[in-house]
Structure 1
Amino acid sequence: MNRFDGRTALVTGGRSGIGRAVARRLRDEGAQICTAQRGADEEFPSVAVDLSDPDSAEAAVAEVVERFGALDVLVNCAGMMQEARVEDMSVEDWQRNLAVNLTGPFLMIRAALPRLRETRGSIVNVGSIEGLGSNPGHAAYSASKAGLHGLTRAVAVDHGGEGIRCNAVAPGWIDTDLNLDFIDSLSDPETFRREIGGIHPVGRSGRPEEVAAVVAFLAAEEAGFITGQVYAVDGGRMTQLSLP
């Protein structure tokens, strides 16, 4: 299936984790891929971007269009998570989390809109189930992802008439290298794996490739009547009630 033949996709945070899986999935379906992050990408063509800098976002989009001729898909994958409750978090840390998780996608979308208008393109934001609920100590992460979900809906409403669609995925626990390294660092990794699997109705945690499959669907023309939606990719975790 080559749903993206002749199309160009820009994936922020495409060097690792979910972003890497998304870049590979879109490439395998025919897209020209460019990733965007601070460092170079050894697998894909890439552009340097500082997600807190409006000029950097504009320059990154301009460079992609200069290299590839157009921009058809923007996927905002880059993100960070810092554990702290509200009263324990400095204003500087709060602002840094929002800058990466919310302002960064805003700046990339703003820079990309004129190009996406030309191609009647699509945007997919990688939010989180923590934009729908929250784990303990995740004040900034939860707030920023909830904001990203809201931004997704706003862009869909404001720009749908121009042929631009904007959706989001909200992953749950996904076995990225970062999460797997965290598990391996614990004193009892196997117990944790069983417990994390047990909070999902499907009985396991997710894979980056499973999130990438939903991103690819939302970015493709076959999802042409879907916009402003946030798709949970969480193995049913948010649906399952705790025991009474």
Structure 2
Amino acid sequence: MEGSSGKSLSYIVGGSSGMGLATARLLVADGGTVVLVAREQDKLAARKGELEAGGRGKIETIAADFYDVGAVKSLIAKIDGETRHINHLVNAAGYFIPKDFLEYTERDYDGYMDLNRAFFFVTQAVARNMVKNGGGSIVNIGSMWAHQAIKATPSSAYSMQKAGLHALTKNLAMELGGHGIRVNAVAPAVTVTPLFNAFIDPDKVEQTLTEGFNAFHPIGRVGRPEDLANHIVFLLSNKASWTTGAIHDVDGGVMAGRV
């Protein structure tokens, strides 16, 4: 059984900001226990205080750098030592810096692929827990960029990373379904999150994205973390008990077509 949200234990990889944080907010407000995994301990401590003050559940934190092999192994050891049933896993960590293909370095490329390596083995550790305890639900945050290329935002390595995450979603749904584990993904389009802080002034992200991309979405606006969080929580829940291996386009209609 996946567990009701009020009694669930959820691990959120990349839970200190953006879609991961918005998902944690919903889960803890419903009484669940959420383990936030992110790089910066100070940010995790701040999020713990914020979320526990506004919710009925409990927040735990683990600091781990997903680009550091040793840190990922340490995180996996902690997951392997978890005595409780992990009901949910959300793989939400990521970064995005548009760059022309001809300008990529090996370091640029490795940053994206190291992230997928971490997702792969952390998910494996969580799946071992779920198999032992009777099942669970996993949601990966993919991307519209894994479906199609956007010339204005060249992102070959990012798109490759997210396409790999989509493929992993489908493969794990097939392999783990017999253990009562569902695996799905959401593929957002342009969403206002700190993902863009790496190449847009953080004070101007909101204005830049709304002015530049509202019209790009048939629904007429860019996404918000809460738009994705609501869908992620649905996929985690028993309300989606017959849904697995699906890549849900939560994208304001971008993948529906072109004018």
The TM-score normalised by the length of structure 1 is 0.88
| 1:82 aligned partner | 97
Contact map agreement 2:80 2:129 (CA 8 A) in 1: no
- What is the CA distance between 1:190 and its match in structure 2? 5.5
Structure 1: tracts of 5 or more residues without a match: none
Instruction: Tell me which amino acid in the other structure corresponds to 1:135.
Output: I
State how far apart, in whole Å, the 1-side matches of 2:208 and 2:14 are. Answer: 31
State how far apart, in whole Å, the 1-side matches of 2:29 and 2:249 are. Answer: 24
| 1:234 aligned partner | 251
| 1:36 aligned partner | 37
The answer on 1:59 being equivalent to 2:59 is no
The one of 118, 133, 152 equivalent to 1:104 is 118
Instruction: Tell me which amino acid in the other structure corresponds to 1:153.
Output: K
State how far apart, in whole Å, the 1-side matches of 2:119 and 2:219 are. Answer: 31
State how far apart, in whole Å, the 1-side matches of 2:208 and 2:243 are. Answer: 40
State how far apart, in whole Å, the 1-side matches of 2:255 and 2:99 are. Answer: 22
State how far apart, in whole Å, the 1-side matches of 2:196 and 2:234 are. Answer: 25
The one of 58, 62, 75 equivalent to 1:47 is 62
Percent of aligned positions with the same letter in both sequences?
A: 31
State how far apart, in whole Å, the 1-side matches of 2:99 and 2:87 are. Answer: 37
The change in CA–CA distance for 1:60 and 1:152 in structure 2 (over 3 A counts) is same
- What is the CA distance between 1:224 and its match in structure 2? 0.8
State how far apart, in whole Å, the 2-side matches of 1:195 and 1:103 are. Answer: 33
State how far apart, in whole Å, the 2-side matches of 1:87 and 1:24 are. Answer: 40
Instruction: Tell me which amino acid in the other structure corresponds to 2:103.
Output: D
State how far apart, in whole Å, the 2-side matches of 1:190 and 1:164 are. Answer: 40
- What is the CA distance between 1:184 and its match in structure 2? 4.8
Runs of 4+ in 1 over 3 A off after TM superposition: 177-186, 189-192
SS in structure 1 at match of 2:187: strand
SS in structure 2 at match of 1:34: strand
SS in structure 2 at match of 1:35: strand
State how far apart, in whole Å, the 1-side matches of 2:36 and 2:232 are. Answer: 15
The change in CA–CA distance for 1:223 and 1:28 in structure 2 (over 3 A counts) is same
The one of 165, 182, 202 equivalent to 1:165 is 182
SS in structure 1 at match of 2:245: coil
Structure 2: tracts of 5 or more residues without a match: 49-59
| 1:94 aligned partner | 109
Question: What are the equivalent positions in structure 2 for 1:162-201 lying under 5 Å apart?
Answer: 162-179=179-196, 182=201, 184-185=203-204, 193-201=210-218
The change in CA–CA distance for 1:94 and 1:179 in structure 2 (over 3 A counts) is closer
Contact map agreement 1:73 1:219 (CA 8 A) in 2: yes
| 1:125 aligned partner | 140
